Structure 1
Amino acid sequence: MKKVLSLILFISLTSWCFSQNNTGTGNHEANSHCLDCHGQKVYGYVNPDDGNSVRKLMPVDFRVDSVLFYTGAHHTFKCVDCHVPEYDSFPHPNQLRFEPMYACLDCHGGDETYAKYHFETIDEQFRKSVHSPETLSGFTCWNCHDPHSFRINQRTGETIANTIAYDNAVCMKCHFETGSEKMLLLANEKLKPMSVSHDWLPNQELHFKQVRCIECHAAMHDSLLIAHMVTSADSAVRQCKECHSRNSMLLSSWYRFQNIENRSKNGFVNGILLNEAYVIGASRNEILNILSLVLFGLTLGGILVHALFRLKINKRKSHE
């Protein structure tokens, strides 16, 4: 009995430790001092000069959603792992406004643990894109990937629809009508509304739901799952046949790392596309193609036989 109880206790403790490590709950206490303010829409403090309580709205850019943080890629971090300990005092010292922010390579560069993500290649591609700091002064990884909520979903078994929605939301933060004002921080002009810049695209809403922006607006790299070399607008894909064809470009971008055996499903060419959607021109069924040719041949043969009989009958009548 003691052995059974000991085993149960051991399993319970192991499970608890595992959950602490994977959900970031072990950091709750350490981070609560920061999130008591930055995790709220409204924060309060006591004015040391007159002793009055003050309530203020937390600016959106300084607000951290604790749920998203503890389910994100950096959930095991403490706030002070990235931010200097001087933030522990309030009011925060003014000079902290100029605190340099870490970039992805500061932690992930040259680390074999993260080699499969190819961070160095991502950085190279990013610096060749229209988002590079040389093109848009002040643009960094964090403009797209919020370190307080970023999570990996491409390799986690997420449904395609969820992944598309998540990835496109990153672009929409600046490129959608309601987010174009954020571009004023990087450039001196607002972007055109999406409906205007994509007025040539039929079924806009359907395309935005079923295809990631980067499929048409970024150049793929052989070793990267997610393209980071965003190209200029005039280089974007505009030909329907690029996706709606047997050799759909989606197979070399969106589905490139899927098992090649899955690319034929129930007789469908590019059958993997059927996991979430039917792509006209790309999702072809060889059996149906052959069957349609057979039916077409039989129909044509029937017409020819009918025509021959009519000719024969007409000749017979003319001789009579």
Structure 2
Amino acid sequence: MRVSQLRLSLLLIFLASFALNLKADNDCLRCHSNQTHTIYNEWTERNEKRLMNPYFILDSLRIKAGVHGSFKCIDCHSSDYETYPHQGDLKLEPLSTCIDCHGGDENFADYKFEQIEEEFKKSTHARALGDQFTCSKCHNQHYYQAKARTSENVKDIVKSSNEMCLSCHDDSPRYQLVSESQSPKLIETHNWLPNQKLHFENVRCIECHTEVLDSLMVSHNILPKEKALKLCVECHTSDSHLNASLYKYKNIQARSQKGAVGNILSNKSYVIGAYQNEILNLLSILIFLGVITGVIVHTFFRIIKK
């Protein structure tokens, strides 16, 4: 009987400890993942429900899937946020940049944060806005995923990258935070580009708007619009600009995963619109092998007959 009581006590202690840890991790999301929050009104002396500011509503599942999913909120935000209601001036708290946490860290040496920082300072965003334009303007610390390094699907990489650009350049309220213009006018500024929708879905904005560097997975030197790439032949040729930028992920994966033969088979010219259907690629290889086999068989029987 005593053994059973002891086990029950230990189980209750474990559950209580687990509940406390769970509570500590979810205190912020208890409000910030919901449409409403409850606050005690000292004027009326009662609890009242209020609508949550939509810009402060977070998706808990996307947070867990992001690169910072294991962090607690106060790992990045002030510990003063543990006091509720929050102090108003906490909204003015400056957010850390990527280099503040990852700079000089050997565990992240492959990511080359220091070189990224140097390239970013050359960009048109940094030159125009200085310290007001930080990493978080493009990279949402809550949801960010390193798609360029982890995804094997190029369209997935394109979608993730373009969402960063469009979160500002296709969103008038956010665009006005960094610009005097009322609207990004995204379609108008790209009216020279044929098949806009097709390009936007299959190519990253940074393909035309950055200076490509072989030493970085993703270039962070965003060029002024006057220097944006506008020549079709830069991409629609065998010596494609995209081969050194967007499609280098496939080339790198082919070398590391498929070996020498896989690298040869995957070393495509990437003429956009002509060599992107995997079924047609496979069919063309089979036809080529069939022709070679036919020639060999024909030659063999010619030799025997002779």
User: Normalising to structure 2: TM-score of the pair?
Assistant: 0.75
Q: Of 239, 243, 249, which residue of structure 1 is paired with 2:235?
A: 243
- The CA deviation at 1:31 is 2.5
Q: Is the 8 A contact 2:237 2:271 kept in 1?
A: no
Show the counterpart of 1:48. Answer: 42
Q: 1:233 to 1:47 in 2, by over 3 A?
A: same
Q: CA shift at 1:44, angstroms?
A: 1.8
The residue number in structure 1 matching 2:269 is: 270
Tell me, yes or no, if the aligned pair for 2:120 and 2:222 is still in contact at 8 Å: yes
Matching of residue 57 in structure 1 with residue 51 in structure 2:
yes
Give the Å deviation of 1:269.
4.2
Q: Distance in 1 between matches of 2:73 and 2:274?
A: 40
CA drift of 1:28 comes to 4.6
CA deviation after TM superposition for structure 1 residue 106, in Å: 1.1
Please name the residue that 2:295 is paired with: none
Give yes or no for the alignment of 1:211 onto 2:195.
Answer: no
Give the superposition deviation at 1:98. Answer: 2.6
Aligned partner of 2:296 in structure 1 is none
Q: Aligned with 2:150: secondary structure?
A: coil
Distance 1:61 1:180 in 2: 14
Structure 2 residue runs without a partner (length 5+): 1-19, 278-283, 292-306
Cα gap change, 1:135 to 1:115, in 2 (>3 Å): same
8 Å CA contact 2:240, 2:271 repeated in 1: no
The residue number in structure 2 matching 1:9 is: none
In the alignment, does 2:222 pair up with 1:230?
Answer: yes
Structure 1 CA distance for aligned equivalents of residues 31 and 22 of structure 2: 14
SS at match of 1:146: coil
Q: Which of 141, 144, 165 is equivalent to 1:147?
A: 141
Residue identity opposite 1:265 in structure 2 = L
What letter corresponds to residue 223 of structure 1 in structure 2?
A: S
Which secondary structure state, in structure 2, belongs to the residue aligned with residue 188 of structure 1? coil
- 1:68 Cα deviation after fit: 0.7
Aligned-partner residue type, residue 269 of structure 2: N
What residue is the counterpart of 1:12 in the other structure? none
Cα distance, 1:58 vs structure 2: 1.9
User: What does 1:12-51 correspond to in 2, within 5 Å?
Assistant: 28-51=22-45
1:94 and 2:88 aligned: yes
SS of corresponding position for 1:43: strand
Instruction: With the length of structure 1 as denominator, give the TM-score of the two structures.
Output: 0.72
Residue pair 1:130, 1:231 contacting (<8 A) in 2 also: yes
1:304 aligns to what?
A: none
Secondary structure of 1:166 counterpart: helix
1:46–1:53: 8 Å Cα contact kept in structure 2? yes
2:189 matched to 1:197? yes
Q: Structure 2 CA distance, aligned partners of 1:28 and 1:272? A: 52
The alignment status of 1:135 with 2:128, answered yes or no, reads yes
Structure 1's consecutive aligned runs of 4 or more residues displaced over 4 angstroms after TM superposition are 260-264, 271-276, 285-288
DSSP 3-state at the match of 1:131: helix
The range that moved more, 47-56 or 200-209, is 47-56
Residue type at the aligned position of 1:127: K
d(CA) in 2 for partners of 1:251 and 1:110? 31
The verdict on how the C-alpha distance between 1:28 and 1:159 changes in structure 2, with shifts beyond 3 A counting, is: farther
Partner of residue 104, structure 1: 98
Task: Spell out, residue by residue over 1:70-96, the C-alpha distance to the aligned partner (whole angstroms, 9 max, x if none).
Answer: 110001101111112111111212332
- Residue number in structure 2 paired with 1:6: none
Rounded to whole Å, the distance in 2 between the matches of 1:196 and 1:226 is 27
Q: Distance in 2 between matches of 1:147 and 1:276?
A: 36
Give 1 or 2 for the bigger CA radius of gyration. Answer: 1
Query: Residues 114 and 38 of structure 1: is their aligned pair in 2 closer, same or farther, counting only changes over 3 Å?
Result: same
| Matching residue's letter, 1:209 | E
